[in-house]
Each structure stands twice: as C-alpha cells, then as structure tokens.
Amino acid sequence: GAGVSQSPSNKVTEKGKDVELRCDPISGHTALYWYRQSLGQGLEFLIYFQGNSAPDKSGLPSDRFSAERTGGSVSTLTIQRTQQEDSAVYLCASSPRTSGIGSEQFFGPGTRLTVL
C-alpha cells in the first residue's frame, strides 16, 4: 500500500558530475511522469512513460537529461555533466490510467538536487 517513493531524498553534487535519481511508482500504475520544480516555481514537465509505449521526452531540457523505465515499473532519471541551473526538486508521479477521472497523478516526495 506504499505510495510513490523516490531516492535519494537529497543529493548534493559537484558541477560536471553525473547523477541518477530513482522513482518507484505505485504497483500496477501504468503511467509515470517526471517533473522539475525550481524554488518557488511550478511544475515543469520532463518526461512521461505509459506502459510499453515509447516515452514522451518532449519536456527534457537538454540532451544531458535522460530517463528509462525498466520492466514497466522503476524509473531512473539521469542527468549528465550537471550544471548549477539543474538544481531543483525532481518529482516523480504515477497514475493508474491515462484519461479522465481516475487518472489522478500520485506524487512522490521528490529528490532535492543541489549542484555546487
């Protein structure tokens, strides 16, 4: 009955290093989203996975960002050669279906990334 979990909760890294952020969605949820939330800002869509379909990567800000979802469950967001402007909270959400009522997104607590 656990919700969406994310790890680590906090990550401090040096500029130029690669980081991996993990998301464990709610079991059985077919849709998975990654968002970025900068301090005091709204949610910036990054990438969306739905079942076995090709992911919607249209929100990724640069080719330094990539994500994968293995076995339709766990997802990893990778940021290569991190920059200071990558500092933000990265939120993962999952959803049991893809349209209308019931497609509510359940969010994890986020990973706070700080790039020094």
Question: How many other C-beta atoms are found inside a 10 Å radius of the C-beta of residue 88?
Answer: 19
92 closest CA partner among 68, 115, 116: 68
Question: Does 52 contact another protein by CB under 8 A?
Answer: no
- Smallest distance from another protein to CB 75, Å: 14
Question: Does 48 contact another protein by CB under 8 A?
Answer: yes
> For residues 105 and 34, is the Cβ–Cβ distance under 8 A?
no
CA distances in angstroms from 8 to 34, 76, 89, 104, listed in the order given: 15, 11, 11, 24
Span near another protein by CB under 8 A; candidates 12-20, 71-79, 80-88, 105-113? 105-113
- SS3 annotation, 9-23: CEEEECCCCCEEEEE
Question: How many other C-beta atoms are found inside a 10 Å radius of the C-beta of residue 23?
Answer: 27
Span near another protein by CB under 8 A; candidates 13-21, 63-71, 74-82, 94-102? 94-102
- Smallest distance from another protein to CB 9, Å: 9
| Contact letters for another protein, residues 6-45 (x by CB under 8 A) | -------------------------x-x------xxxx-x
Footprint on this chain of another protein (rule: CB under 8 A): 4, 31, 33, 40-43, 45, 47-48, 50, 56, 58-59, 91, 93, 95, 98-101, 103-110
